[in-house]
Amino acid sequence: MSKSSPLSLVREAKHRVFVARKRSSRRAKQLKFDAATAAFKHVDRVRRYTYRPSRYADTFLAGEVALTERSEFPARAFVVWTGNNPLTPNRQANLDLIRERIGLPVELVTPSTLDQWIVPEHPLPAAYEHLSLVHRSDYLRGYLMHHHGGAYVDVKQPLESWRPGYDRMAADPQVWVTSYSSSHANWIGKLKGRLGLDILVHYRLMFGKGGFMMRSYTPLTAAWVAQMDAVLDTRAERLAKHPGGVFGDDADYPISWTDLLGRVLDPLTLKYLDHVRYDERMLLNFEDYR
């Protein structure tokens, strides 16, 4: 049996400490967000949220992205699988149920089919290749919704058909997003300052990130992609040195779990709340899906 090098032993010890700290931190955070869930569950029935631009003047919400393309809302649902590994039996069963139940034509996007969805004028950022497979999925759902529109669904079981929600959204051009609502404060993207506090207090207004329907080329999707690109641009060098693998478990991987999803979409939900609708029939089964 070969002996481990001193460097590999140090790396292993560092990883164990990292994992232990994460587990301890998760337990503490769970208690915190359980309390917030109970405390703020009905706050929006008492006081409706009003977006005030000056309150977030120091955040990315202050910017605007120019749009020239026509917004569309095609009847289709994207499913994304970013690795070259085959779907697990559970995932394959979930995909079969999506096709059977969701009520929309399903497009499975994989590394071998991705090119057909890339807009030549807007290629994927170079840092995409260094993202974890999970964060590649986060990035692609934003890219696909912005440039193509329709629906996105994780490889999880839909509980009901999405077709009624699609038909209702298609009839109202003022609706840019439809999804299920957040039922727990821990589902949000955690941020500091006023923005983070407002998202926490109004967590019920945050829509689900595992499945949603969006019109293409709206200010919301444009800002989502622009902010993701900004995050990747500032961390490209570190990403190249510490790529994400499957789950981004490397302690030096510079993208946190919700950097491309909740920490971007939840602030944008506050800004564009008038264009967001909720449909609890779009809920997914989050149990034993891997």
Amino acid making up residue 77: A
* β-pair partners for 214: 150, 177
What number of other Cβ atoms are within 10 A of residue 36's Cβ? Answer: 17
What is the per-residue DSSP string for 125-189?
PGGGGGS-HHHHHHHHHHHHHHHT-EEEE-SSEESS-SHHHHHHHHT-TT--EEEEEP-SGGGSP
Give pLDDT tens digits for 227-248. 999 999 999 999 999 999 988 8
Q: What percent of the chain has pLDDT over 70?
A: 91
- pLDDT tens for each residue of 108-142: 999 999 999 999 999 999 999 999 999 999 999 99
Residue 9 has pLDDT above 60, yes or no: no
Query: In angstroms, rounded to a whole number, what is the distance separating the alpha carbons of residues 246 and 255?
Result: 13
Query: Which tokens sit at 201?
Result: 């207090």
Determine contact, residues 203/227, Cβ cutoff 8 Å. no
Domain ranges (residues) in the chain: 1-39, 42-285
DSSP 188-237: SPP--HHHHHHHHHTGGGSEEEEEEEE-SS-HHHHHHHHHHHHHHHHHHH
* 113 contacts: CB under 8 Å, gap ≥ 6: none
pLDDT of residue 12 exceeding 70, the answer is no
- Number of C-alpha atoms within 13 angstroms, CB side, residue 288? 3
Structure tokens at 106: 């399903």
Is residue 16 scored above 80 in pLDDT? no
pLDDT digits (tens, 9 = 90+) for 58-77: 999 999 988 999 999 999 99
For residue 44, the surrounding DSSP H or E stretch is helix 43-46
Q: Which of 50-54, 172-176, 220-224, 250-254 has the lowest mean pLDDT?
A: 250-254
Give the pLDDT of residue 110.
97
Q: Residue 6: is its pLDDT beyond 70? A: no
Locate tokens 């649902």: which residue?
77
Spatial CA neighbour of 159 closest among 101, 103, 106: 101
Closest Cα partner for 200 from 24, 49, 25, 52?
49
Distance between CA atoms of 65 and 130, rounded to whole angstroms?
26
81-112: per-residue pLDDT in tens? 999 999 999 999 999 999 999 999 999 999 99
